[in-house]
Amino acid sequence: MTADASPEVEQRIRALGVEFRPYSIQRNAMSISSDRQTLTELRTALAELKPTTILAYTIKPIIWGGIAWRSSAARRCNETRFFALVTGLGYAFQGGSLKRRVLSTIVTKLYRTALRHATAVIFQNADNRDLFVERRIVDAAKCHVVSGSGINVAEFAQSPLSKKPPVLKIDGPAGPPHFLLIARLLGEKGIREYCRAAEQVKAKVPEARFSLVGPEDPSPDGISLEEIKRWHDAGTIHYHGATTDVRPFLQDCHIYTLPSYHEGMPRTVLEAMATGRPILTTEVPGCKETVQQGVNGWLVPKADADALAERMLWFIENRDQWQTMADASRKLAEEKFDVRIVNQQMLAIMGLE
């Protein structure tokens, strides 16, 4: 069960022999009527489908799915097990404004209600787990941590950083240094810091390239296309729009950058690691698990464009380190984040081995 999907996606799901059932859900809307509709549809679905095992992930499916399950006949008869996969904390838990603090209090109470009788709660990093335990949302004994959602290392094969012209005598890959960020257009993905850092770097290394790929997002934290267009038109970054396949962009870059404020486990970073790219990201939950400092990349403080620019310049000045870091990224992806490893961890937790 998910929100409405395109006919192509539905067809691919059904081809796997899986029944697909969409339901109404608005990921970013804060609407009582919309959420009530989601809860009603989930209650109806559980009554009709009578599942023995439920896995819900992301905030609204966990909250409304958990509450629907708690009130179901199957739950009352102990016939259904409920598992939650927390893929990140999201907008509500980041503090700051009064609106966010109020929202955080509401979401915390809803999580407690939804997860009170959950069989297990699975997190993608230990910091998120610790926060849920600290806020008494879930008992520590029910918590498990896995290495993100995993990455298909065959689908994201390692590719050369670039081909050096034989006559060009230079240490490391040739061509202008090319940084890439793939993200929904949200402030907390660090897009503004990325643009400001790019501006600083280009003042010293004008040929450096900075690409941005990703769709608009209706979240309260969303960045408008008009703002992105101003950076693009100034020549600071090149905005490529949204894409359904990130691989060509990853293969075309030298350094993958994600200056995010918070993550569960950033999928684009895992994809970049599997592709064989050095990583430049922030020292925050979710991101910091993907980098061995100085081995496959660097971590910088969040919301710090100056520190980001400083590390970008380090990469430019140390081209001879790129390939070593690229190989280390690929090795880490294979040994820790391979989807087969993560799936095995999930199946073991759910008793479905």
Tens-digit pLDDT profile for residues 11-29: 999 999 999 999 999 876 6
As a whole number of Å, the CA-based R_g of the chain is 22
Which residue's structure tokens are 């990583």?
Answer: 279
Boundaries of domain holding 96: 7-145
Q: Does the residue 186 lie in any domain?
A: yes
Q: Does the residue 164 lie in any domain?
A: no
Q: In terms of pTM, does the model score above 0.75?
A: yes
The 10s digit of each residue's pLDDT in 105-118 is 999 999 999 999 99
CA distance linking residue 62 with residue 42, whole number of Å:
11
How many C-beta atoms lie closer than 10 Å to residue 236's C-beta? Answer: 20
pLDDT at 165: 40
The two tokens of residue 311 are 């590390």
Longest Cα–Cα distance of the chain, Å, equals 74
pLDDT at 166: 40
Looking at residue 208, which CATH number applies to its domain?
3.40.50.2000
- Assess whether 184 and 327 both reside in one domain: yes
Domain stop point among 145, 168, 189: 145
- Assess whether 129 and 182 both reside in one domain: no
Q: Does the residue 157 lie in any domain?
A: no
The 10s digit of each residue's pLDDT in 277-306 is 999 999 999 999 999 999 999 999 999 999
The 10s digit of each residue's pLDDT in 206-255 is 999 999 999 999 888 899 999 999 999 999 999 999 999 999 999 999 99
- Assess whether 331 and 202 both reside in one domain: yes
Q: Does the residue 342 lie in any domain?
A: no
Torsion sign, CA atoms 127, 128, 134, 139: negative
Top-confidence residue, 92 or 251:
251
Mean pLDDT score of the chain, rounded to an integer? 92
- Assess whether 305 and 186 both reside in one domain: yes
Using DSSP, state whether 211 is helix, strand or coil.
strand
Q: Does the residue 115 lie in any domain?
A: yes
- Assess whether 113 and 231 both reside in one domain: no
Count of domains in the chain? 2
Q: Does the residue 161 lie in any domain?
A: no
CA dihedral 314, 316, 318, 319 (to 10 degrees): 150
Task: Say if residues 259 and 284 touch (Cβ distance below 8 Å).
Answer: no
- Assess whether 193 and 328 both reside in one domain: yes
Q: What is the mean pLDDT of residues 78-107?
A: 82
pLDDT at 221: 87
